[in-house]
Amino acid sequence: MKGKIFLLLFCITAISYSVWSQSHPLLLLSKSDVVQLKKGINEYPLLKDTYRDAKTEVDFALTQPIAVPMPKDMPGGYTHEQHKNNFMVLQKAGVVYQLSGEVKYAQWIRDVLFAYAELFPTFSRHPSTKSYAPGKFFYQSLNDANWLVYVSQAYDCIYDWLPVADRNRLNTKLFRPMADFLSVETPQFFNRIHNHSTWGNAAVGMIGLVMNDTVLVNRALYGLPNEVASDIIKDNDGGSINLPGSKAKGFIAQIDHSFSPDGYYTEGPYYQRYAMYPFLVFSEGLSRNRPDLKIFEYRKAVLVNSVYALVNLTNSKGEFFPINDSQKGMSYLAREVVPAVDVAYHYGKQDPTLLSIAKEQGRVSLDITGLSVAKGISKNLEKPFVKRSIQLKDGANGDEGAIGVLRSKQSKEELTLVMKYTKHGMGHGHFDKLSFLMYKYGQEIFQDYGAARWVNIEQKEGGVYLKENNTWAKQTIAHNTVVVNQTTQFKGNVQSADEHHPAPYLFETSDSHYQVMSAVDSTAYPGSILQRSLFLVEAGDEPFVVDLFKITSNKKNDYDLPFYFQGDVLSTNFSYKTKNILKPMGSQFGYQHLWEEASGGASPESSSFTWFQNESFQTITSATIQGDSLLFCRVGANDPSFNLRRAPLFLIRRKNIQNTIFANVYEVHGHYSRVHEIASNTKSKIKNVKVIYDTDEFTAVEVNRVDGTSCVVAMALKNADAKAAHEVKSLNLQWTGATTVQERNSVSIKNKIDEK
């Protein structure tokens, strides 16, 4: 029966296209746009430079033999990179043809497309079996969708120039079969909520618009019928797949379920960056050809808002926070973010702060959105995009966790804290609830490992995710969060992790000298409730961080709290012994990849560790207790191919205890000039950290400085009324609201705060 349904659907759709009565181009350009762009190239330098660079690249391609090789390679290999280069140059060639009017560009596009039309029917799928959905020209259907998203734009630009016979040839031999291949022939790729499917939906929809094929457009918008979608195979790529009968499918569902109302993308900023291109270029085409959808107004303009969310999820250098599966160092200079910023500016509120991002990117889209941006920049309308502290909620309704970012308000060199209390992130998520990252002016102080993958480097497993991505990078111990009983959250089960999320408890940034974010998780470890509260305190010359990680459990457990630092160990106030023989720290849940290099016991008062990184000094001061073990470890065990970075970590281990709290203070202090060989403020300003009150309702920590001053950080926990007035008589503490930071024995510091 399924085969008959598939055949019937294919037969109906195969004859559904007709000669488009509307003139082309119609996706990202129109004839009137072309006129404006030609004029704009002569008036606006950024547009002129972008066009010049595109034309130079296309002109070079025209001097080379057309190469459309039989697919065989993984990412980084010749055939993969050739087909990838082809689709990128084809897209640019289409625009260059429209703006120059030179027929040679249209002829070249036609000849390359004819070559693809001849190749397409000669084989079934790519020979690689490493993807859950092998493609045609590439090892995975995702890259074929990339190809069609870009190539549909090139085809659109020469559509009216082509004779009808040539169009019919390409429609029947290449584009319609490719659209069916990506959808009805590969439903496990097309019919789910995932960045892969966003590309697939956009590809089918965009070529449908070009060919005036309403069946393809509707298929893209609303997904495959359930009878076809039920032929789903198991996804070995780690992504979520819609079950048969699910209503969540197609491009509209992608917008509904991938983004929160705040614009946060559930797979994280790295994949949001990647998915923004199909989301926005298809939406541009829909805004022109399906204005009834009001796509840029949909869900209160969530697509435009998502661009702001994406830019806000970057450090001071513009690099995306590398949570979940991420390649570190990726920034908003990426090619996919250029059109995202342009679209948000043009279809949004012409926000001049976006122009500053576009100016930094140094190029624009060669369409009407890029024209708007180039015009604004030429008129010096740009204003700085100021990234402030922000909480972005997760989930389609904004009620499934969040991500919090605190940024210092007063420090010259911005201190940034990131805490992840979002949903899992589907197949690209990591088991790292309540983990955190810390930056000082764009430099990682406590880092997230990111993904175990060498993107597009063929020597490393063809550039795809390594097995160590599952055995190490996704495991809880690979992140800066508590591990219970040396076991990964949810025991590494993606389905269970997807069904639960932490609860945001507090996000407060209104106070003049401290900010705080707090969240609670009760599902990652059954029987244990974890609450983490991070305070960014700006009192005195340099800000510092107070981290309260409280654990309440129904039984005794072992707890590990790792810190992934970078740099060289300088000093500790505790003794330790190095290991002469290195052994893996465990056999599973990521511990098999860790060497224990040294171990020591906690200091009686509190324990501190200082290291040097680049030109500054960092210190952790911990309220350790008797019996705590302090370990220096390193990534790299059971890694015969050297796939993992040899990242160091400092680990606090607390064993056989039921309820506990980890209280830590983090500082970045001083400076060292390698040129002048002069060091300043090399030592911590924190004398000790003490937990002075801890119940089910309240926690209070005292931070004592070496200058004799101190501050008390008090928190009304989830069991207390967070909005009420609170008093801890034994500490002479009174405050209203969930939390307070109070200076003591410090008139000078109080005056500094008041003055600011």
User: What is the pairing mode between strands 528-537 and 616-622?
Assistant: unpaired
Q: Which helix (H) or strand (E) holds 392?
A: strand 390-393
Q: How far apart are the first and last CA of the chain?
A: 74
- Mark residue 220 as left, alpha or beta (left: phi above 0; alpha: psi -120 to 50; beta: remaining): alpha
Alpha carbons within 13 angstroms on the beta-carbon side of residue 288 total: 23
Q: Which helix (H) or strand (E) holds 622?
A: strand 616-622
- CA 168 vs. chain centroid, Å, equals 41
Question: Is-cis flag, bond preceding 25, omega within 30?
Answer: yes
Is 265 designated active site?
no
Is 669 designated active site?
no
| DSSP per-residue codes, 186-239 | -HHHHSSSSHHHHHHHHHHHHHHHHTT-HHHHHHHHH---HHHHT-PPP-TTS-
Which amino acid does the sequence have at 637? A
**Per-residue buried b or exposed e for 349-380, using 16+ beta carbons within 10 Å of the residue's own CB:** eebbebbbbbeebebbbbbbbbbbbbbbbeee
Q: Determine contact, residues 294/255, Cβ cutoff 8 Å.
A: no
Neighbouring-strand partners of residue 537? 514, 544
- Say whether 262 sits in a helix, a strand or coil: coil
Q: What share of the chain is helix, strand, coil (3-state, %, to 5)?
A: 35, 25, 40
User: What is the pairing mode between strands 514-521 and 503-508?
Assistant: antiparallel
| DSSP per-residue codes, 421-452 | ES---GGG--S-TTEEEEEETTEEEE-----S
User: What is the pairing mode between strands 544-553 and 594-601?
Assistant: unpaired
The set of residues, in sequence order, having a beta carbon less than 8 Å from that of 108 and lying 6+ positions away, is: 61, 62, 66, 93
Instruction: Find the length of the chain.
Output: 756
How far apart are alpha carbons 169 and 450 in whole angstroms?
45
Please report the sign of the dihedral spanned by the C-alpha atoms of residue 356, residue 357, residue 363, residue 369. negative
Neighbouring-strand partners of residue 704? 688, 710
Neighbouring-strand partners of residue 601? 629
The set of residues, in sequence order, having a beta carbon less than 8 Å from that of 510 and lying 6+ positions away, is: none
What angle is formed at CA 564 by the lines to CA 562 and CA 570, rounded to 5 degrees? Answer: 105
DSSP conformational letter for 589: T
Q: Looking at 132, 155, 159, 271, which residue is catalytic?
A: 271
Residue 260 CA: distances (Å) to CA of 23, 401, 420: 37, 10, 15
- Say whether 479 sits in a helix, a strand or coil: coil
How far apart are alpha carbons 639 and 422 in whole angstroms?
30
Please report the sign of the dihedral spanned by the C-alpha atoms of residue 211, residue 213, residue 216, residue 217. positive
Q: Determine contact, residues 733/700, Cβ cutoff 8 Å.
A: yes
Q: Determine contact, residues 623/691, Cβ cutoff 8 Å.
A: yes
Q: Determine contact, residues 158/110, Cβ cutoff 8 Å.
A: yes
Q: Determine contact, residues 560/477, Cβ cutoff 8 Å.
A: yes
Q: Looking at 80, 428, 593, 669, which residue is catalytic?
A: 428
Q: Determine contact, residues 274/322, Cβ cutoff 8 Å.
A: no
- Say whether 413 sits in a helix, a strand or coil: coil
Instruction: Extract the tokens encoding 653.
Output: 């281990």
Active-site residue set:
271, 428
